[in-house]
Amino acid sequence: MKLLCAILIALALPLAAADLTGAWDVTVDIGGNTGNPVITLKQDGNSLTGTYKGLLGEAPIKGTVDGSKVRWEFAAEYDGNKFNVVYTGTVDGDTIKGAIDFGGQAEGTFTAKKK
């Protein structure tokens, strides 16, 4: 019985998502052009809220967490064009890696490291 409990606990541990609450340093690469925004996230269950600060100014973030998968977005404006910036990635400890969609106008990759 103890062995069965230990196995069940061991299988459940990878399903527990890390708490993403905190500040994150982000490295963005868009076709060889790089940037380093900072995001601050607050996780409440599967929901994320927070703030983006970077080249596109400052904006509120909304997103979701599903196991190790994460998604957040914010509204931005650049050269008079308004669009949504969507980050999708995978959490691995204190690192998130993934892709960025700039409202269908450009795509890139990112790596975020928790401060």
74 belongs to a structural domain: yes
Give me the number of domains the chain comprises.
Answer: 1
The answer to whether residue 8 sits within a structural domain is: no
Tell me if 6 is assigned to some domain: no
Domain-located, residue 88: yes
Residue span of the structural domain in which 97 resides: 18-114
The 10s digit of each residue's pLDDT in 44-72 is 999 999 999 999 999 999 999 999 999 99
Q: Taking residues 21-31, what's their average pLDDT?
A: 97
Query: What's the farthest any 2 CA atoms get from each other in the chain?
Result: 65
Task: Residue 96: name the closest of 60, 44, 43, 59 by CA.
Answer: 43
CATH number at residue 53: 2.40.128.120
Q: What is the pTM of this model?
A: 0.84
